[in-house]
């Protein structure tokens, strides 16, 4: 499941939009999700700047 928000549309980061990647979408068959996988299946047309939030120690990094 991919959560996303688009600030210019008035989306709120605390209440993100969601889309499901097909199970066959992950590249390489090793379970590693890549930017290209997300871009290929992103549900909206257009050009976007993608950032990924990852848990790191006691917080998060982008």
2-53 pLDDT, tens per residue?
Answer: 999 999 899 998 999 999 988 777 766 667 788 998 999 999 999 999 998 8
**Residue 14 backbone dihedrals phi, psi, to 5 degrees:** -80, -15
Residue appearing with tokens 């890549």: 34
CA–CA dist 24, 28 (Å, integer): 10
What burial letters (b/e) apply to 7-28, b meaning 16+ CB within 10 Å? eeeeeeeeeeeeeeeeeeeeee
Which H or E run contains 18? strand 17-19
């Amino acid at each position: 499941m991919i959560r996303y928000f688009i600030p210019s549309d008035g989306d709120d980061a605390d209440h993100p939009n969601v889309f499901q990647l097909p199970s066959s979408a992950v590249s390489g068959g090793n379970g590693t999700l890549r930017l290209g996988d997300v871009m290929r299946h992103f549900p909206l047309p257009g050009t976007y700047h993608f950032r990924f939030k990852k848990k790191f120690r006691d917080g998060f990094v982008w």
